[in-house]
Amino acid sequence: MLDHLIDQIRQCNHCQAQLPLPAKPILQAASESKVLIAGQAPGRVTHDKGIPFDDASGNRLRDWLGVDRAQFYDPKLFAVVPMGFCFPGTGKSGDIPPLPACAQKWRQPLLAKLSKVKLHCVIGKYAIDWHLNQASVDTGNLKVKTASVTEHVKQWQHYLKQGLIVLPHPSPRNNRWLKQNPWFETKVLPVLKTKIKDIID
């Protein structure tokens, strides 16, 4: 049962020795989830609140998807399953990468139970590296490990045909990227919003 698996994940403290704060796995999912949000790992604000994407990044992500908070936080519509379920800590240039043991232990069993997902929204380099390395994903001429996030995002039409879309992180830290890549907002987002509406309506 998915509920039992989620309960196990929320009680997990497997990586506690490597975490700066008490383990607090944060995720959202239901067997009926239609859209998967695959991000990196909770930040400090998310750790404190216990709610995924309840910050400026989440506001921008919901705008990109064309949904409100009630829709986004309905697990029957959206599963929010980051690569790491706990806040990994902060380094010199931001949060450190999600701990790999989390995905190794939980990701395949969890995603196997989300059989009704129609669109995978893959956010950021670590989620890209995991999701695009799956055998069912055709990455075209791109090599997952060496291609940039921008290169993957530009291939959005190719990925969308496979039920997947790659997104830059919606963090305010990416404001510069958005200014340098205006095509993302003018070409990608209108299609993404229409796709999401078709799926969740």
What 3-state DSSP class applies to 73?
coil
- The confidence score (pLDDT) of residue 128 equals 95
Summarize pLDDT for 148-192 with one digit per residue, the tens: 999 999 999 999 999 999 999 999 989 999 999 999 999 999 999
Mean pLDDT across 44-60: 95
Q: What integer is the mean pLDDT of 73-79?
A: 98
What does the pLDDT look like over 81-139, one tens digit per residue? Answer: 999 999 999 988 778 999 999 999 999 999 999 999 999 999 999 999 999 999 899 99
Extract long-range pairs of 66-72: CB within 8 Å, 24+ residues apart: 66/192, 66/193, 66/196, 66/197, 67/196, 67/200, 71/200
Interatomic CA distance for residues 122 and 128, integer angstroms = 6
CA distance 122 to 164: 7
Residues ≥6 apart with Cβ < 8 Å to 161: none
Given this model, what pLDDT does residue 73 score? 98
Provide mean pLDDT across the span 58-73. Answer: 98
10 Å CB burial of residue 201 (0-12, 13-18, 19+) is exposed
Instruction: Tell me the domain boundaries of the chain.
Output: 2-200
Predicted confidence at residue 27, as pLDDT, reads: 98
pLDDT value of position 93: 75
The pLDDT value given to residue 83:
98
Q: Measured between alpha carbons, how far is 185 from 201 in angstroms, rounded to an integer?
A: 23
Task: Provide the percentage of residues in the chain whose pLDDT is more than 70.
Answer: 100
Which CATH number is associated with domain 2-200? 3.40.470.10
pLDDT for the residue 135: 81
Nearest of 33, 63, 34, 165 to residue 53 by alpha carbon? 63
pLDDT for 91 = 85
